[in-house]
C-alpha cells in the first residue's frame, strides 16, 4: 500500500525566515508528485507537480520553490517567508490517468 | 481557466436525513471526478470517484455525474454527527491536474 509521510506536522515561523517542508512516498515507484496549499478558509490549490526526479513544474506562483531530489522525495521551500504563506500544505501522489490520488496528512504553517 | 464551484457553502441536516451537495465545473474535457472529506484541516479522505455519467455508490455515499450539464452531486444517506466536515469536489484533468471546489461545510444535528 502507498503511504505518504509529510514533515513537519506543524510549524510556527517568523516572516523572512527560511522554510523547508518534506514529503516521502513509499510503496510506489516513479510516482507523480504534487504540492497543494490551502489558506485558512480558502480553496486547495495545486502549487507544483513533478513527473520524474529533477523535474518540477510550477502551477501557481507564491514565491515558493519545489525540488525532487529523489524518486520518493518532494521538497517545498523558500528562503524568505511571507505572512501570506500561512496555511495548510498537502503533498499528494497520483497518476495522470484515472487512478486515485493519495494525500499526506499535511503540514500546518503559521507565519508571524 | 478551469473552475469548480460548490453549493451550498454550508449545510445543516438532521441526523438520518439525506444530505445533498452540488458541484459544477466549467470544462467538459475533465477525466474524472472525486468527492473528498476533510476534518478540521487534516488530510483528505476520498469518498467516491466517478468517471462516467450516471451513479456511483460507495457505502452511504452516492455520486451522480451529468457531463452535459457540467454537474456532479454527492448524496449522503443516513448521515451521522461524525459526518460533519468540509466536503470537497475535485475535478481531474490531463497531466494530473486536480482542481478543487471551495468546499461545503456540512453539519449534522443529533
- Read off the pLDDT of residues A50-90 as tens digits, 9 standing for 90 and up: 999 999 998 887 899 999 999 999 999 999 999 999 999 99
A79 CA: distance to closest CA in chain B (Å): 25
Q: Is B54:B65 a contact under the CB 8 Å cutoff?
A: yes
Strand partners, B73: B22, B64
Which residue is listed with cell 504553517? A109
The verdict on a CB contact (< 8 Å) between A34 and B96 is yes
Give the nearest partner residue to B96 out of A38, A95, A108, using CB atoms. A95
B-chain residue closest to A42, CA distance: B102
Distances B47 to A19, A49, A101, B29 between C-alpha atoms, Å: 33, 23, 12, 22
pLDDT in tens, chain B (110 residues): 788 999 999 999 999 999 999 999 988 777 789 999 998 767 889 999 998 999 999 999 999 999 999 999 999 999 999 999 999 999 987 766 788 999 999 999 99
The verdict on a CB contact (< 8 Å) between A100 and B51 is no
B96 CA: distance to closest CA in chain A (Å): 4
Strand partners, A71: none
The verdict on a CB contact (< 8 Å) between A96 and B95 is yes
The verdict on a CB contact (< 8 Å) between A43 and B103 is yes
Amino acid at each position: 500500500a502507498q503511504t505518504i509521510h509529510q514533515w513537519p506536522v506543524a510549524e510556527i515561523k517568523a516572516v523572512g525566515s527560511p522554510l523547508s517542508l518534506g514529503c516521502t512516498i513509499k510503496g510506489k515507484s516513479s510516482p507523480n508528485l504534487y504540492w497543494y496549499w490551502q489558506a485558512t478558509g480558502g480553496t486547495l490549490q495545486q502549487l507544483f507537480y513533478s513527473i520524474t526526479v529533477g523535474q518540477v513544474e510550477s502551477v501557481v506562483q507564491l514565491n515558493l520553490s519545489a525540488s525532487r531530489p529523489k524518486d520518493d522525495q518532494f521538497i517545498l521551500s523558500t528562503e524568505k517567508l511571507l505572512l501570506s504563506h500561512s496555511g495548510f500544505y498537502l503533498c499528494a501522489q497520483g497518476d495522470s490517468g484515472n487512478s486515485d490520488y493519495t494525500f499526506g496528512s499535511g503540514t500546518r504553517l503559521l507565519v508571524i | 481557466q478551469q473552475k469548480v464551484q460548490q453549493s451550498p457553502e454550508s449545510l445543516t441536516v438532521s441526523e438520518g436525513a439525506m444530505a445533498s451537495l452540488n458541484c459544477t465545473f466549467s470544462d467538459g474535457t475533465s477525466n474524472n471526478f472525486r468527492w473528498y472529506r476533510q476534518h478540521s484541516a487534516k488530510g483528505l479522505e476520498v469518498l467516491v470517484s466517478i468517471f462516467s455519467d450516471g451513479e456511483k455508490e460507495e457505502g452511504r455515499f452516492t455520486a451522480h455525474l451529468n457531463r452535459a450539464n457540467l454537474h456532479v452531486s454527492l448524496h449522503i444517506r443516513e448521515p451521522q454527527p461524525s459526518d460533519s466536515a468540509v466536503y470537497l469536489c475535485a475535478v481531474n484533468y490531463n497531466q494530473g491536474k486536480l482542481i478543487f471546489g471551495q468546499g461545503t461545510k456540512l453539519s449534522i444535528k443529533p
